[in-house]
Amino acid sequence: MFNKILIANRGEIALRVIRACREMGIRSVAVYSEADELSLHTKFADEAVCIGPGPSKDSYLNTQAILTAAEVTNADAIHPGYGFLAENADFADMCSSHNIEFIGPDGRMIEAMGDKASAKATMKAAGVPVIPGSEGILSSAKEAEKLAAEMGFPVILKATAGGGGRGMRVVYRPEDLANLYSMAQIESGSAFGNDGLYLEKYIENPRHIEVQLLGDKFGNVYSLGERECSIQRRHQKLLEETPSPVVSEALRLEMGEAAVAGAKRVNYVGAGTIEFLLDKHGDFYFMEMNTRIQVEHTISEEVTGVDIVKRQIECHAGLKLPDWLSKIRLRGHSIECRINAEDPAKDFQPSPMFIENVHFPGGKGVRVDSHIYAGYQIPPYYDSMLAKLIVHGQDREEALARMLGALREFIIEGPKTTIPFHIQLLENSEIQQGKFDTHFLDSFRFDPERDDES
């Protein structure tokens, strides 16, 4: 097992990894920016090293400073958390050339899954259902027009270097294709330094459902069930739940087996996620593979009882995953609300203020993963998530009621937060009935006047 892990991240995920290390008897090293000197990851890790000024590019993205911190503290592994360097192939390579285990896949795997057209081809070869479309990268707008005419409209153009919703264009009419093709090509060339595009049939009103995976270095890969992640705004998830209200036991088995087959095909090691689109006929298709621990891993932990971060660390240390992971059953229902320092009345404008006062909700089945405290100044440089509020109940109804109660108990004084938005969302009858898709928030209206939280 590792002796010491450096955590190349901040906020709640840095705390999450520090706690896992502590329970495993592994020493932890925090790295922090000048803006995070008073943050909890700096305080709670066994050691802490300042790696530069506030802006991410000078600190949490500063690969040289992070590797130097790992060398001077004698860390034998680096956990990247999510975001920042978590899916940076060059950084994974740098770690391995410094003989430091990167707690994530190797650089080749990150590249293979980061190129969306190549990831799709790999999954197709493994027998995972993929969305009908071009075989790899398009060579011209003409080729796209020909294919789209055969498939029928609407279609979607996607940047192979994109992902997470960046660099996509939906095309409803043949006469728009050539223009949208040029726009997408220029945009992805300048945004990603790669202008490769591929084409797919556009699936209208799908659900976003992802499968949590764990793989060890002995070729074992296990599914920890799905997460329903359709409640998103501009490709940012706001609420996640498991199990999905629309996934039957048979569909869960099918999606889990497809995801495991895809991950086994690439000898996947560690924690990973395969994202699927589920259409209104109940057919699912591979979308992307995320080669990192995700924000919403917590809800899978609640229903499986598995500590995903501890198992992820063990996998990278070369330990075998226990066989019983093939037989786990999902217990009850779990929901996560992302509490962000954003004003839902002002288009979710960031609100990086001083935390005057905070009170976390509690009680049975309530978990808060957060780095904030009374007197904490939110730095303006990073993402706006303040806390993850996670509940677990015997069934969906109990989980929903528990979440509403916990949201109403949650006090954060200082910044505007997404708490009142979540309350109104969970009071919505379509949400309560599980009737929603990835476009739900496009038409959902938050009422800023109604700030009675009960």
Q: Shortest gap between Cβ of 120 and ligand MV4 (angstroms)?
A: 10
Three-state secondary-structure class, residue 434: coil
Q: Shortest gap between Cβ of 202 and ligand MV4 (angstroms)?
A: 5
Separation of alpha carbons 67 and 400, rounded Å: 43
Name the residue nearer to ligand MV4 (CB basis): 13 or 155.
155
Please tell me the number of Cα atoms within 13 Å of 63 on its side-chain side.
Answer: 14
Q: Shortest gap between Cβ of 260 and ligand MV4 (angstroms)?
A: 21
Name the residue nearer to ligand MV4 (CB basis): 320 or 439.
439
Name the residue nearer to ligand MV4 (CB basis): 91 or 286.
286
Separation of alpha carbons 426 and 403, rounded Å: 8
Q: What is the dihedral of CA 125, 130, 133, 138, to 10 degrees?
A: -60
Please state whether beta strands 47-52 and 27-33 pair in parallel, antiparallel, or not at all (unpaired): parallel
Name the residue nearer to ligand MV4 (CB basis): 171 or 390.
171
Matching residue, tokens 């509690």: 362
**Active site (annotated) includes residue 450:** no
Name the residue nearer to ligand MV4 (CB basis): 173 or 450.
173
User: What DSSP element (H or E) covers 412?
Assistant: strand 411-413
What is the contact surface with ligand MV4 in residues (CB under 6 A)?
Answer: 131, 156, 163-165, 200-203, 206, 208, 232, 235, 277, 287-288, 438
Query: How far lies 30's CA from each of 5, 85, 411, in Å?
Result: 9, 15, 28
Q: Shortest gap between Cβ of 224 and ligand MV4 (angstroms)?
A: 20
- Output Rg (C-alpha) for the chain, integer angstroms: 22
**What is the identity of the amino acid at 350?**
P
- 46 Ramachandran zone, left/alpha/beta (phi>0; psi -120 to 50): alpha
Name the residue nearer to ligand MV4 (CB basis): 48 or 229.
229
Q: Packing angle between helix 419-427 and helix 396-409, nearest 10 degrees? A: 150
Q: Shortest gap between Cβ of 405 and ligand MV4 (angstroms)?
A: 28
Q: Shortest gap between Cβ of 150 and ligand MV4 (angstroms)?
A: 16
Q: What is the dihedral of CA 119, 122, 126, 131, to 10 degrees?
A: 60
27, 292, 311, 402: which is the annotated catalytic residue?
Answer: 292
First to last CA, the chain: 49
Separation of alpha carbons 170 and 109, rounded Å: 29
Q: Shortest gap between Cβ of 170 and ligand MV4 (angstroms)?
A: 8
Please tell me the number of Cα atoms within 13 Å of 353 on its side-chain side.
Answer: 18
Name the residue nearer to ligand MV4 (CB basis): 131 or 400.
131
Which residues carry out catalysis? 292
